[in-house]
Amino acid sequence: MTELTSSNRTINPRALPRTHRQSGRVRHAVGYVLLCLVALLFVSPLIYMVATSLKPSADVFTTPPTLWGSSIEWGNYAQAFTYLPFARFILNGVFVAAAGTAINVAVAVLSGYAFSRLRWRGRNTVFILFLATLMIPQDVLVIPMYVMMQGFGWVDTFQALIIPWAFTALGAFLVRQFFLTVPQELDDAARVDGAGAIRTFFSVMLPLARPTMAVLAVFSFIAYWNSFLWPLVIVNDVEARGTIPLGLQQFFGQQGSEWNLVMAASVISMLPTVILLILLQKHLVKGIVTSGLGGR
């Protein structure tokens, strides 16, 4: 008994917790360092693009390569607008992406509400068939979609750039998954207050779905903004109705050796999406989390 007591007295009760705290801090520090290295790996191409956009033409392919040139040429961004009607490409891209995003979000919210809150025969079967369209690559649909646009007389028009891709199963799925997490008691309370399905949707469900709508809006805007194959097929007059990817292609065709100007145009093309992410960042994480829950 004496030996047990003396041995217990020799143990410092604070030593073990302090050791655990120190090891925890080391693990956190190592984790932060690894995350910073991974982030630097992903950001390094963007840093190089911005640095190249500010270089003189003679410093782009220097040996050995350098990150920054001998001088900072802010005029490269002004020249990017003079060689081609780049401002027109930006306006066209913003118009197409904004219009397509608005239609996509509206249709997704309505269909997601119908698939999650309304009771009708064959609802789950129709939703599964609707969701199965995600397995079809969009590239496969280019030729049939072009034939349809040709039949409508929409070739080389803005509606051909917007309408075909404004209805996606992914948007309906995200909104449906969010609405499944909303308690049924909210519908019952609204019904007791005399609200019908339409009023319940606009007064109760739609305000709750704002984070999910923000996520869907970002996904949709980026998809429209970066779309290249479909505009390349459907647009004939690039200078009048070309979007940013087509504009960059034309820019590269005329100024293939001026890589600093190409990089300046690429940096400019990133700004709308960066601004959108900054404006909606507080809704993105919440929307992604809530959209992934539910499964009734």
pLDDT tens digits, one per residue of 164-187: 988 888 889 988 988 888 888 888
Burial class of residue 54 in the structure, from the number of CB atoms within 10 Å of its CB (0-12 exposed, 13-18 middle, 19+ buried): buried
What CA–CA distance (Å, rounded) separates 177 from 44? 36
Record the tokens describing residue 12, joined without a space.
Answer: 């410092």
Record the tokens describing residue 95, joined without a space.
Answer: 């118009």
Distances (CA, A) of 180 to 52, 112, 169, 173: 48, 10, 16, 11
What CA–CA distance (Å, rounded) separates 272 from 43? 18
Residue 13: the pLDDT is: 47
Query: If you write DSSP's letter for every residue of 37-52 in order, what string do you get?
Result: HHHHHHHHHHHHHHHH
- In the chain, the domains with their CATH numbers are 79-291 (1.10.3720.10)
Dihedral angle of Cα 154, 159, 161, 163, to the nearest 10 degrees: -110
| Single-letter code of the amino acid located at 75 | G
Residue 154, SS3? coil
Residue 286: the pLDDT is: 64
What CA–CA distance (Å, rounded) separates 84 from 10? 80
| Cis-peptide into 144, omega within 30 deg | no
pLDDT tens-digit map of 38-91? 999 999 989 989 998 898 888 888 878 788 888 888 888 888 888 778 889 999
pTM of the model: 0.79
Portion of the chain with pLDDT greater than 70, in percent: 85
Distance of CA 63 to the CA centre of its chain: 37
Record the tokens describing residue 144, joined without a space.
Answer: 């049939």
| Single-letter code of the amino acid located at 212 | T
What CA–CA distance (Å, rounded) separates 45 from 61? 16
What CA–CA distance (Å, rounded) separates 174 from 238? 34
pLDDT tens-digit map of 116-158? 888 888 888 999 998 888 888 888 999 999 999 999 999 999 9
* Neighbour tally for 191: CB within 10 Å: 13
